[in-house]
Amino acid sequence: MEGLMSKLRNLDAYPKINEDFYSRTLSGGVITLASSVVMFLLFFSELRLYLHAVTETKLVVDTSRGETLRINFDVTFPALPCSILSLDAMDISGEQHLDVKHDIIKKRLDFHGNVIEARQDGIGAPKIEKPLQRHGGRLEHNETYCGSCYGAEASDEDCCNSCEDVREAYRKKGWAVTNPDLMDQCKREGFLQKIKDEEGEGCNIYGFLEVNKVAGNFHFAPGKSFQQSGVHVHDLLAFQKDSFNITHKINRLTFGEYFPGVVNPLDGVQWTQETPSGMYQYFIKVVPTVYTDVSGHTIQSNQFSVTEHFRGTDIGRLQSLPGVFFFYDLSPIKVTFTEEHVSFLHFLTNVCAIVGGVFTVSGILDTFIYHGQKAIKKKMEIGKFS
């Protein structure tokens, strides 16, 4: 047993020095104190990294198919009434959503930006069930009223009982409403008078769109949109105005859900021009993003970058449609953010490296200072130090 203990003793890599041979110095004490502070700071920094999750970022090819893209928006037009503001969305697959009203809220604003009214429907009074006449003829007995569409009926059974119905029928035909006062429904509901009453008001429109996950655009513009000879146009003649002030502020624009760390470059952007009537264009590159937190909860969202452009209505060339247009395209690369904690073994390894490294460097520095002082002192004793 004694022989075994002796062999183990010979394996000691840390031979002990008798305390009688210790020599403590002032420089050694200062270095020990400084190294202890450094060890503590580095240990505390490593402990914070261990307790807080770190985010790992990866780039992968987006192979998802058949998904939809949710666009959340909140835009304020300080000089454009809600009555004439419409929202359209279309994509390269050919799908179109014209004059979108579902999931959209409009707030009428006065000159100072205060909310007058919030509504979800479009312009026009409630539908009149028993107005004047049936397609120009007289009602007989208790016959149900069916208002005229003024030539825009798809069949004899079609009815337009409100100004909005007439405008919608015209839109489907690709026609523009030139003078609403010539239509009984619009005249009765005071279409033009309503436009005049809201003159000088603004509009805050917010909500969301569900679109196909392909390149496309959505835009806010005055008037009801329709297709004419394969071209997307808006009916502006009905409002009897020469120009529209499209000054606007984007309070919020996101593609998908919020996730920690996301930056939306258009939030709070306000763009004004000396000639506010024109086409404001935003070209957006959408990057699909997947965020996974430490608990394993995954958020499917998007980030985006944007380029801005303004096209005015110059005389002598084709006039631009006044409005705010958002053209978006999707990146084929997906970004994944994954939150995870550092493993305890990794934390322990780093702590040992910190303690050992600082201790070793401090020992080397102390040895260098100690032997340097001895050499200088010895030269001074023999008078060779100058």
DSSP reduced 3-state for 168: helix
Per-residue tens of pLDDT for the chain, all 386 residues = 777 777 766 665 556 666 665 667 777 778 888 888 888 999 888 888 888 877 889 999 998 887 899 999 999 999 888 888 889 999 998 888 887 888 889 998 988 888 888 877 544 434 444 444 444 444 444 456 678 888 778 777 788 888 878 877 887 777 777 777 778 878 787 777 777 777 888 999 999 999 999 999 999 988 777 666 667 777 676 666 667 888 999 999 999 999 988 889 999 998 776 677 788 999 999 999 999 988 888 999 999 999 999 887 654 444 568 889 999 999 999 999 998 877 788 888 988 998 888 888 888 887 888 778 778 778 777 776 55
Q: Are 215 and 328 in contact (CB under 8 A)?
A: yes
DSSP reduced 3-state for 330: strand
Which residue in the block uniquely carries the two structure tokens 């449609």? Answer: 321
The predicted structure's pLDDT at residue 81: 87
Question: Across the strands, what pairs with 221?
Answer: 86
Q: Are 111 and 245 in contact (CB under 8 A)?
A: no
Note every long-range contact of 174-181, with CB atoms under 8 Å and residues 24 or more positions apart, other chains counting. Answer: 174/226, 174/227, 174/228, 174/229, 175/226, 176/226, 176/233, 176/235, 176/236, 176/237, 176/238, 177/235, 177/237, 177/238, 178/237, 178/238, 179/238, 180/238
Tokens of 180: 């609403």
- Domain map (residue ranges) of the chain: 23-53+344-381, 60-126+203-339
Which residue in the block uniquely carries the two structure tokens 């198919």? Answer: 65
Q: Which value, to the nearest 10 degrees, does the dihedral of the CA atoms of residues 345, 346, 348, 352 take?
A: 130
The DSSP code for 256 is B
Instruction: Provide Rg for the chain, Cα atoms.
Output: 38
DSSP reduced 3-state for 361: helix
CA 142 to chain centre: 56
**Closest Cα to residue 289, out of 281, 298, 300?**
300
The DSSP code for 283 is E
The predicted structure's pLDDT at residue 139: 42
Could you give the CA distance from residue 132 to residue 162 in angstroms, rounded to a whole number?
12
Q: Are 246 and 280 in contact (CB under 8 A)?
A: yes
The predicted structure's pLDDT at residue 299: 92
Phi and psi (nearest 5°) for 269? -80, 130
The DSSP code for 154 is S
